[in-house]
């Protein structure tokens, strides 16, 4: 994830900006930069690679100025290079940015037609150029930003610094978090509170859709509708925190809410957004040669694999078997040459998954690890690694790792399909465009939280809960049930919709809530039949669907959670949000230890 820092200070800020960026290094980056106002004029210094390269440059050419913004960039659009590093500056404005501007291609085409010449391959520069155009036409910096923000589609965070405006900085949050720090005659901005630790312990957090105008006197925050709003200042221990909860009660909530940001990062890593293609790193085997795939993992990671089975079979037409690692390792599954084994693990240390990896290698399989911890044993022992780049996951219940596993596996499925000549270029472009929309769709899905909190009050009274889904929503039903039981201790089961009448229907009565995960897809009608079966027996249905599905589900006793319409392939990622929020709110109501549920460990290194 990229890191953003801003300071309106009382003395030279360049060094402080770098110090603050250093605290964001844990997010990962491959270039960095600073912009300050020296004698009122915008100056920019950027360097490829680590912060020490930027520091060397700053040693040689020190930057003055009491106002500055800084950035650590993990390459998204355009390769890691000085030219693509942030800040991106025009004559009038410098911008740093985290996230994806979905409609940057349209905006770029429009600006190019007006004669604007771009100096980088990034989506960010579009924002700088748009604001510059507005200012050139006579608008004030605040009016220019107000004009541009509604034109940007996607999930992102932005910070702006303006030429000849030494007492002004503007920040905007849409999907990616931003914290504001209050000093004594100084103001600060950071991607999180950790970045601001050396300067202040008084922090407020921008909420979704907010944008803020900072001066040394304070900050004026406006919400999405332009209304001036107050965001409470909290006292955060300024100590050297490594990870913090932001303004959330639990790490799990923070990790649910940061998914638009982290998944944008994962997709950016595996996609070439300009070319609208999947761009995996070089792998030590030929994707076109893969004859069959075995996926093995535990718990949530296994369910990510089970979703990927559908994608791999659809896009790459390869036979796939998905297996619980503790079974796979002992079953002595015959694995014939030409096969690929994909092991999926957040921690990269799960004993059964590691043993499965070793078994697959003994059988002559190529092993690909999809992990969050790139230095883990599983990553080291695999033939190749695709890191999911979710950042540290602290809550024991896995959330952002799951969706980033899905994002990585979705890209892999498309890459194999393309390598085998089964996906046309147009199919690939269409899928990549759909992937680019996921961060924004997740931001929309998070808005269901208050509604989910209310319905969780009913769920918290249940003894058992059933989750149903078909297609890729079946593994998501399994994941929903796992999430609920592990953190709320309510018994829950996930089933494929079609299996209902083969047994679980016997459980249904008026005390049994049934969560049905059913976007309006080609098998929606079948799911409606399942809902009718449940309703006829008095079961209470919670339907997670889209507007079309909601309109067509004429079944009694249905509560509906309605998500935007979206392409079927991205549904499991976006629908994960309500599924996770249902478990989270129910657990909070039950008063359990959400981040460290009883009997569970984050990393299971024993059998």
Positions touching ligand F6R (CB under 6 A) are: 298-301, 345-347, 350, 353, 397-398, 482, 486, 603-604
Q: Which residue, 297 or 318, is less far from ligand F6R as judged by CB?
A: 297
Which candidate, 326, 257, 277, 254, places its Cα nearest to that of 429?
Answer: 277
Q: Closest approach of Cβ 301 to ligand F6R, in Å?
A: 4
Record the tokens describing residue 222, joined without a space. 């406006």
Q: Which residue, 113 or 606, is less far from ligand F6R as judged by CB?
A: 606
Q: Closest approach of Cβ 483 to ligand F6R, in Å?
A: 6
Instruction: Please enumerate in sequence order all residues whose Cβ is within 8 A of that of 237, keeping only pairs 6 or more positions apart, or say none.
Output: 201
Name the active-site residue from 153, 420, 526, 602.
Answer: 602
Q: Closest approach of Cβ 300 to ligand F6R, in Å?
A: 3
Which candidate, 30, 19, 78, 435, places its Cα nearest to that of 199?
Answer: 19
Cβ 459 vs Cβ 490: under 8 Å = yes
Which candidate, 158, 27, 178, places its Cα nearest to that of 104?
Answer: 158
245 pairs with which residues across the strands?
Answer: none
d(CA 303, CA 85): 37
Question: What are residue 272's phi and psi, to 5 degrees?
Answer: -100, 100
For ligand F6R, the nearest residue by Cβ is 299
Q: Which residue, 454 or 600, is less far from ligand F6R as judged by CB?
A: 600
Q: Closest approach of Cβ 347 to ligand F6R, in Å?
A: 3
Q: Which residue, 345 or 473, is less far from ligand F6R as judged by CB?
A: 345
Cβ 265 vs Cβ 1: under 8 Å = yes
Cβ 61 vs Cβ 46: under 8 Å = no
Record the tokens describing residue 268, joined without a space. 């950016």
Task: Return the SS3 of 315.
Answer: helix
Q: Closest approach of Cβ 327 to ligand F6R, in Å?
A: 14
Q: Closest approach of Cβ 247 to ligand F6R, in Å?
A: 23
Rounded to a whole number of angstroms, the CA Rg of the chain reads: 25
Q: Which residue, 353 or 473, is less far from ligand F6R as judged by CB?
A: 353
Q: Closest approach of Cβ 490 to ligand F6R, in Å?
A: 15
Q: Closest approach of Cβ 499 to ligand F6R, in Å?
A: 22
Residue 496 vs residues 112, 224, 352: alpha-carbon distances, Å: 50, 40, 26
Q: Which residue, 192 or 352, is less far from ligand F6R as judged by CB?
A: 352
Q: Which residue, 425 or 605, is less far from ligand F6R as judged by CB?
A: 605
Q: Closest approach of Cβ 479 to ligand F6R, in Å?
A: 8
Q: Which residue, 42 or 397, is less far from ligand F6R as judged by CB?
A: 397
Is there a catalytic annotation at residue 45?
no
Q: Closest approach of Cβ 604 to ligand F6R, in Å?
A: 5
Q: Which residue, 299 or 339, is less far from ligand F6R as judged by CB?
A: 299
Positive or negative torsion for Cα 193, 196, 200, 203: negative
Contacts 24+ apart (CB under 8 A), 214-218: 214/6, 214/8, 214/168, 214/169, 214/170, 214/171, 214/180, 214/187, 214/189, 215/8, 215/167, 215/168, 215/169, 215/187, 216/8, 216/10, 216/167, 216/185, 216/186, 216/187, 218/182, 218/187
Only one residue has tokens 């339907």, namely 543
Residue 345 vs residues 39, 281, 576, 603: alpha-carbon distances, Å: 52, 19, 18, 10
Cβ 455 vs Cβ 480: under 8 Å = no
d(CA 159, CA 171): 4
379, 382, 387, 392 alpha-carbon torsion, rounded to 10°? -20
d(CA 497, CA 473): 9
Is there a catalytic annotation at residue 298?
no
Q: Which residue, 134 or 353, is less far from ligand F6R as judged by CB?
A: 353
d(CA 79, CA 166): 32
Name the active-site residue from 2, 45, 298, 411.
Answer: 2
Catalytic residue annotation: 2, 602
């Amino acid at each position: 994830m990229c890191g953003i820092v801003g300071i309106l200070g009382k003395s030279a800020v360049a060094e402080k900006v770098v110090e603050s960026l250093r605290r964001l290094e844990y997010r990962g980056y491959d270039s960095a930069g600073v912009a300050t106002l020296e004698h009122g004029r915008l100056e920019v210094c950027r360097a490829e690679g680590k912060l020490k390269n930027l520091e060397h440059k700053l040693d040689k050419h020190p930057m003055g100025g009491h106002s500055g913004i800084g950035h650590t960039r993990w390459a998204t659009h355009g390769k890691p290079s000085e030219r693509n590093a942030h800040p991106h500056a025009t004559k009038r404005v410098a911008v740093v940015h985290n996230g994806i501007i979905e409609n940057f291609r349209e905006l770029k085409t429009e600006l190019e037609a007006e004669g604007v010449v771009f100096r980088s391959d990034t989506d960010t520069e579009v924002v700088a150029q748009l604001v510059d155009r507005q200012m050139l036409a006579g608008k004030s910096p605040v009016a220019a930003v107000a004009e541009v923000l509604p034109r940007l589609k996607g999930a992102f965070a932005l910070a702006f610094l303006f030429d000849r405006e030494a007492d002004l900085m503007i920040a905007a949050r849409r999907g990616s978090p931003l914290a504001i720090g209050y000093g004594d005659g100084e103001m600060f901005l950071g991607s999180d509170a950790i970045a601001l630790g050396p300067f202040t312990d008084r922090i407020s957090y921008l909420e979704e859709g907010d944008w803020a105008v900072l001066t040394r006197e304070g900050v004026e925050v406006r919400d999405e509708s332009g209304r001036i709003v107050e965001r409470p200042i909290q006292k955060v221990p300024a100590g050297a925190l490594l990870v913090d909860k932001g303004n959330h009660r639990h790490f799990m909530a923070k990790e649910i809410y940061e998914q638009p940001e982290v998944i944008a990062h994962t997709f950016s890593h595996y996609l070439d957004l300009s070319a609208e293609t999947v761009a995996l790193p070089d792998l030590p085997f030929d994707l076109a040669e893969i004859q069959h795939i075995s996926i093995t993992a535990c718990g949530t990671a296994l369910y990510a694999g089970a979703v990927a089975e559908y994608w791999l079979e659809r896009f790459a037409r390869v036979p796939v078997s998905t297996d619980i690692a503790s079974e796979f390792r002992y079953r002595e599954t015959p694995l014939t040459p030409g096969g690929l084994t994909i092991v999926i693990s957040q921690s990269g240390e799960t004993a059964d998954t590691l043993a499965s990896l070793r078994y697959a290698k003994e059988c002559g399989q190529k092993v690909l690890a999809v992990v969050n911890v790139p230095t883990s044993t599983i990553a080291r022992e695999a033939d190749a690694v695709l890191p999911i780049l979710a950042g540290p996951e602290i809550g024991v219940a896995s959330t952002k790792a799951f969706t980033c596993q899905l994002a990585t596996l979705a890209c892999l499925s498309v890459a194999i399909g393309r390598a085998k000549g089964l996906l046309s270029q147009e199919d690939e472009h269409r899928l990549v465009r759909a992937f680019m929309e996921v961060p924004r769709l997740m931001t929309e899905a998070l808005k269901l939280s208050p509604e989910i909190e209310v319905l969780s009050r009913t769920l918290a009274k249940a003894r058992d809960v059933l989750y149903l889904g078909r297609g890729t929503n079946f593994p998501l039903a399994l994941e929903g049930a796992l999430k609920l039981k592990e953190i709320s201790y309510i018994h829950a089961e996930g089933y494929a919709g079609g299996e209902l009448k083969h047994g679980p229907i016997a459980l249904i009565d008026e005390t049994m809530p049934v969560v049905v995960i059913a976007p309006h897809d080609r098998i929606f009608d079948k799911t409606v039949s399942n809902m009718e079966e449940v309703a006829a027996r008095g079961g209470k249905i919670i339907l997670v669907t889209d507007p079309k599905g909601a309109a067509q589900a004429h079944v009694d006793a249905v509560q509906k959670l309605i998500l935007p319409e979206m392409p079927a392939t991205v549904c499991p990622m976006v629908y994960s949000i309500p599924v996770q929020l249902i478990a989270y709110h129910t657990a909070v109501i039950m008063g359990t230890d959400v981040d460290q549920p009883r009997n569970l460990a984050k990393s299971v290194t024993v059998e």
